[in-house]
Copies of this chain bind each other. A is one copy, B any other.
């Protein structure tokens, strides 16, 4: 993992992310950054976001290029490889109390439907490298 430069573009992106209330999409980041640096291009924003993600300086949510489908509709949890994106089942039932879930749902303002636990890390294959 290479050291990261911190030039004006990068700082502008970080700035937007740090002052954001919610979780902006790349396009939203781009729009915001453009107010400060009108000449910046989308590609640069994407490049910077990716690098920040690799550095662990920002969290990237929902990076899953393709949808996956599963005929087993009962709840089950997933392990995601941060390297290759593999999506694995977690064959261990992790129990959360209904009270905790209800409280979380209420706090988030959502009518609870289901839940899922995801663990992230490197899968056996990628961990070798």
**Which positions in A face B, CB cutoff 8 Å?**
14, 17-18, 20, 22-27, 29, 49, 52-53, 56-64, 66-73, 77-79, 81-82, 87-92, 94, 96, 100-101, 103-105, 107-124, 127
Contact = CB atoms under 8 A, between A and B. Distances in A.
A92 B49 CA distance: 27
A26 B66 CA distance: 8
7 contacts: A22-B87, A25-B66, A49-B69, A62-B62, A110-B122, A110-B123, A111-B122
B122 A108 contact: no
A22 to B, nearest CB: 8
A79 B105 contact: yes
Contact of A56 (B52, B62, B73, B92): B73
A70 B23 contact: yes
A94 B96 contact: yes
